[in-house]
Amino acid sequence: MAEAAPKKENPMRELYLEKLCVNLCVGESGDKLTRAAKVLEQLTGQQPVFSKARYTVRTFGIRRNEKIAVSCTVRGQKALEILERGLKVKEYELYKENFSATGNFGFGIDEHIDLGIKYDPSIGIFGMDFYLVMGRKGFRVARRKKAQSRVGAPHRIDKTDSMKWFQQKYDGVLLTGKPKNRSSNRPMKKKRKK
């Protein structure tokens, strides 16, 4: 009897980074928003898109349809380079809570200067969110116009697949528990005395 050949990995099952969405929410329009757009353009090398507020919130001082954020979608090799810089800031540590059920994941950084962008006093310092959409070969069948079909359940990406990809590709560490909110803008809640 012939010896069994080593089992090969199915190339269709390989995970890859489909796109990286970088979001920078300022919460107000005007000069601060244009400076944020400049930061995003320096990081991605692309023209960012402005996002509008969905409805008026008087406590935040924003009106409906007012531009309050800038975002950019990056694909390909450039996305992997920016992701590498972002993960270096996080020291390749992410929480399990950062991963969604559909296999996508995201994280935030507090200061853009940690990414290697030179500090400019006229621009200031901004934090930003990174969100990664993972994909597999064959996902196009769900998006194409002709002969559109669904992606089968075994081929879909779930939380464990993307966690494994993160650990193998970047030697990442997965932390348990919930991410701590270390935002410098929000004051810590004081515990009430009884």
**Tens-digit pLDDT profile for residues 27-48:** 888 888 899 899 899 888 999 9
Question: The whole model's pTM is what?
Answer: 0.82
Confidence of residue 125 (pLDDT cuts 50, 70, 90): confident
Residue 131, classed as helix, strand or coil, is: strand
Closest CA to 171 of 76, 77, 84, 110: 84
Q: Give pLDDT tens digits for 110-124.
A: 888 888 888 888 888
Q: Give pLDDT tens digits for 70-94.
A: 999 999 999 999 999 999 988 899 9
Give phi and psi for 114, each to the nearest 5: -70, -20
- Tokens 């960012």 belong to 48
Neighbouring CB atoms inside 10 A of 89's CB total: 18
Q: How far apart are CA 130 and CA 82, in angstroms?
A: 9
CA angle 190, 192, 194 (to 5 degrees): 160
The per-residue pLDDT for 178 is 74
Q: How far apart are CA 188 and CA 100, in angstroms?
A: 27
